[in-house]
Amino acid sequence: MSAHAQMHTLDLLGGPHAPGCENRSLRFSRFTDPSLKEDSRRAFLDVAITQKLPESVCRDRLADYDAFLDTVPGVNRIYAENKARLLLNMSGGVMENAGCSLDRRTGLPLIPGSAVKGVARHAALDTLKNEIREARPVYLAKIALTFGWVSGDWTETSDFVWAAADARSDAMAIIAEAIGSVPKDFAGAIAFFSAMPRTPMHHDLELDIVTSHHKNYYGEKIEVAFDNEQPNPVVFPAVAAGHVFGFAIAPSPGGAAVGDLITELLVCAKKWLVRGIETYGMGAKTAAGYGWFDAGKAEAIRLEKERQRLQSAFDVWRATFNIDDVPPDQLADAIQKAESCLRSFAPLQDQTITDAINRNRNRLPQKNALDKLREIWDAAPNLKSIINGDIKAFERATDEKKAAIIMLLREPSGRGAEVWQQVKTGQKGDTAKAVDALRIYCKNTLNLGKMPA
């Protein structure tokens, strides 16, 4: 019977193995029996890994976490698929060698931020030790500022010294210059967040097995391991291959201490993290092929996220869109804003919105000939185009347009006044004939008297 829950709790959950517990994470952490062996152990784990909350609950949890990360200032996202089984928290479970890192709310696989930071730090130090030959103190300083340190990290037995003993003193001098001193403890300028899957998988956990062929030897019951012991297979849960995890890094509160250097440290941290999960692997048994990732899908996932974000915003706008009730005097602005929104959501389209815009154009107050011509002249690139296009062709224009031309030319300011000032005297050829014609039309047809002097 489980030693991790009180009897009345187990009674409420249906008995010794808590069949009424719907949370897989809770079942692993509280309602296990460490004494279970062989078939009993497998039976318990079979139930635990197949037990899942409704997919809608899991999707909402992942969407909330993803939205939270997007709000973190300066966040950098990395997406990577685990190409092999992933073994997480193998030493932290209540059943020996059966730990599994799960989200407490949903039981979904979760890679703790401490593990993410650890694999990136290992990649950085191993790169420094085996590949960096120049500017080693600068490289070590960037590692220290990115991940932080405690006093022991600068001693002779630290991994800083293991990676670059020759660079330690100069690296500390570089750090002192960058942040003013080398404090005893420094939390690091970059924060590493826990990683969760992009979407829940139907088959997310599965049973794996390790077989000890020398149970008595490892149990110190015999002094020599002979090949005469009965093999002892032990099952444990593993994260199935095929999850696309979303990793995230961002400036930490301590990042302010490094000033403008934070941008460069973010680039380095991202590079080290990608190298860590692709080259060194994550979790336990990486030497046996477990825990390896492929970060090649990052750009495709970023574009898909952007498309989903655009679609979501478009759906919200479309659900509230209505210009049929806009008063006529406000309709022009409403149509202009609607067309601007449609362009911003491209390539997304909705024919009902386009139809509504076109339908409401008929409700727009109609401009008279004078206002239309004023807009055309105001948009003209120069006076010459107006003279060649409308003044010289005056006699061929409709009566409505002739009246509009004369009214514009008679205005005291604006494009019409500028055109009249240029053509009223000293013109020859077609322009002179047109000026004479419009003077006569103004006086005899419109009865407006003479054109302005």
Q: Are residues 251 and 294 in the same domain?
A: yes
Q: Are residues 184 and 268 in the same domain?
A: yes
Q: DSSP 3-state assignment of 251?
A: strand
Q: Are residues 204 and 186 in the same domain?
A: yes
Give the strand pairing for 196-197 and 190-192.
unpaired
Report the alpha-carbon distance of residue 224 to residue 429 in Å, rounded.
Answer: 120
Q: Are residues 138 and 64 in the same domain?
A: yes
Q: Decide if 232 is inside a domain.
A: yes
pLDDT in the model for residue 91: 57
Q: Output the tens digit of pLDDT for each of the chain's 453 residues.
A: 444 667 777 778 777 667 777 788 877 777 766 677 777 777 777 777 787 788 899 999 999 999 999 899 999 999 999 999 888 776 544 444 455 788 888 889 999 999 999 999 999 999 999 999 999 999 999 999 999 999 899 999 999 999 999 999 999 999 999 999 999 999 999 999 999 998 888 888 888 876 655 566 656 666 666 666 666 677 778 889 989 999 999 999 888 889 999 999 999 999 999 999 999 998 888 888 888 999 887 777 778 888 888 999 999 999 999 999 999 889 889 999 999 999 899 888 889 999 999 999 888 877 788 988 999 999 999 999 999 999 999 999 999 999 999 999 999 999 999 999 999 888 889 999 999 999 999 999 999 999 988
Q: Are residues 276 and 262 in the same domain?
A: yes
Give the strand pairing for 244-251 and 76-82.
antiparallel
Q: Are residues 335 and 392 in the same domain?
A: no
Buried b (16+ CB within 10 A) or exposed e, 78-87: bbbbbebbbb
Is there a contact between 373 and 380 (Cβ–Cβ < 8 Å)? no
Range of the domain at 57: 52-320
Among 366, 401, 420, residue at a domain's last position? 366
Place of tokens 């799960």: 102
User: What total of structural domains would you count in the chain?
Assistant: 3
Place of tokens 């197949």: 50
Q: Decide if 45 is inside a domain.
A: no
Q: Decide if 154 is inside a domain.
A: yes
Q: What are phi and psi of 182, to 5 degrees?
A: -120, 90
* Residue 199: Cβ-neighbour burial (10 angstroms; 0-12, 13-18, 19+): exposed
Report the alpha-carbon distance of residue 128 to residue 11 in Å, rounded.
Answer: 56
Q: Are residues 172 and 305 in the same domain?
A: yes
pLDDT in the model for residue 94: 41
Q: Decide if 260 is inside a domain.
A: yes
Among 366, 389, 421, residue at a domain's last position? 366
Residue 211 tokens, joined: 């077989």
Q: Decide if 10 is inside a domain.
A: no
Report the alpha-carbon distance of residue 312 to residue 316 in Å, rounded.
Answer: 6
pLDDT in the model for residue 216: 61
Q: Are residues 246 and 332 in the same domain?
A: no
Q: Are residues 63 and 180 in the same domain?
A: yes
**pTM of the predicted model as reported, rounded to 2 decimal places:** 0.66
DSSP-H helix ranges across 91-247:
113-130, 136-147, 159-164, 168-179, 215-218
Q: Are residues 377 and 283 in the same domain?
A: no
Q: Are residues 352 and 374 in the same domain?
A: no
pLDDT in the model for residue 363: 84
Q: Decide if 250 is inside a domain.
A: yes
Q: Are residues 351 and 266 in the same domain?
A: no
| Beta strands in 215-358, from DSSP E residues, in sequence order | 232-239, 244-251, 293-294
